Chains A and B, each alone.
Chain A
């Protein structure tokens, strides 16, 4: 892999890691607050899994750039400014109500599932290995959140109303979740990552009928995307201000 390709792969992997990291942090807001004890445990499990996935992608990022895989992930999380994060804005908002968190998790996990299946065939073997490892856990997340989407969508009037509202609020963030990344072209040509439109097509074929079967209506108005992986919402600033507050107290790096 030449230098340019390495940098492109690193950028791609960083966006995958940042998605998992920020979503994990938002999911962890449910710890101690989920509607039932069993879901509290389940969602905390999911949050931990996502953080584990972020760590795997960050280590791969370190390897691609020749950095120390032990200290690099902490630096990425604790020492970057919001503008340097490359996550998709869908994962930035606070947890909201249960319907919103379940729907966000479903939109994200179902997209991950398609992307990871493609990435597990990547021409870059270490990337394929990480994708395969994450895939087994994502399959489980997907089952769990899919089961809840059906129950909330087809449940009571209130659960359906909340799901519909969540869909309307989250739908404008979907285009960026599926968007082509700027670093993608050489990676696609080299068989390292799938083209965004291939991922999008399989994702839509799965997700649209699933949400319709759960009794949800798709928003008809198309909202122009205001945010993307380079232009974040203020929710990310707030999240990172808190997440990085302890690390900022000490100018030297703490060793955990």
Chain B
């Protein structure tokens, strides 16, 4: 085995209550519990976060808008399950949760997503709902409370930087005069 990386998980965060989960990035972890804990540390320490979703990377199927155009074929009735549908709106956007559909495979899920959630999506992601890990309500306290009241501060917030600037300015001033 040449790849020593731990399994990759794709992470979605709920930034405000009632807003759909949006894609934040990925973490590596040995298992589901550590994936959620790592996701919290990497993506939910400063900005407000009200919930986390995580999927093992290989459970997410991705289709471009062009690929989604080729209509899925109605085949023999196959067992269906719920798929969660994400769409990237515009090239600068990030995959955002749009809703759930019943489908028998990822292509069907994308096709149904497309007919329900419109044409403006440039990239589709779908994953079976059973593969989703989500923070439980009782975990929200320890997972997200500590970040509240801790705004992200740029280094310029701290006066140390200002002092350094003053020193540099004084030195430049001196050099200019000599």
Contact = CB atoms under 8 A, between A and B. Distances in A.
A256 B158 contact: yes
A164 B45 CA distance: 32
A41 B28 CA distance: 12
B146 A38 contact: no
Contacts of B31: 151
Contacts, number: 46
A87 B37 CA distance: 29
A212 B146 CA distance: 31
Nearest to A42: B41
Interface in B106-144: 141-143
A36 interface: yes
A148 B41 CA distance: 15
Contacts of B6: 36
Chain B interface, >50% SS class: helix
Contact of B41 (A41, A137, A256): A41
Nearest to A135: B142
Q: Chain B, interface size: which category? A: 20 to 34
A83 interface: no
Contacts of B34: 147-148, 151
A41 B146 contact: no
B156 interface: no
B167 to A, nearest CB: 13
Nearest to A136: B145
Contact of B30 (A140, A143, A151): A151
B63 to A, nearest CB: 29
A156 to B, nearest CB: 12
B159 A42 contact: no
Nearest to B27: A38
B39 to A, nearest CB: 9
A36 B141 contact: no
A181 B146 CA distance: 30
Main secondary structure of the interface of A (DSSP, over half): helix
Contacts of B45: 45
Interface string A139-175: 1100110011001000000000000000000000000
B142 A136 contact: yes
B158 to A, nearest CB: 7
B30 A38 contact: no
A256 B159 contact: yes
Given A41-B42, A42-B41, A140 B146 contact: yes
B146 A143 contact: no
B38 interface: yes
A184 interface: no
B28 A36 contact: yes
B142 A140 contact: yes
A49 interface: yes
Contacts of A148: 34
Contacts of A147: 33-34, 37
22 contacts: A36-B6, A36-B28, A38-B27, A38-B28, A38-B41, A38-B42, A41-B41, A42-B37, A42-B38, A136-B141, A136-B142, A137-B142, A140-B143, A140-B146, A143-B37, A143-B142, A144-B37, A144-B41, A151-B31, A151-B34, A256-B159, A256-B160
Interface of A: 36-39, 41-42, 45, 49, 136-137, 139-140, 143-144, 147-148, 151, 255-256
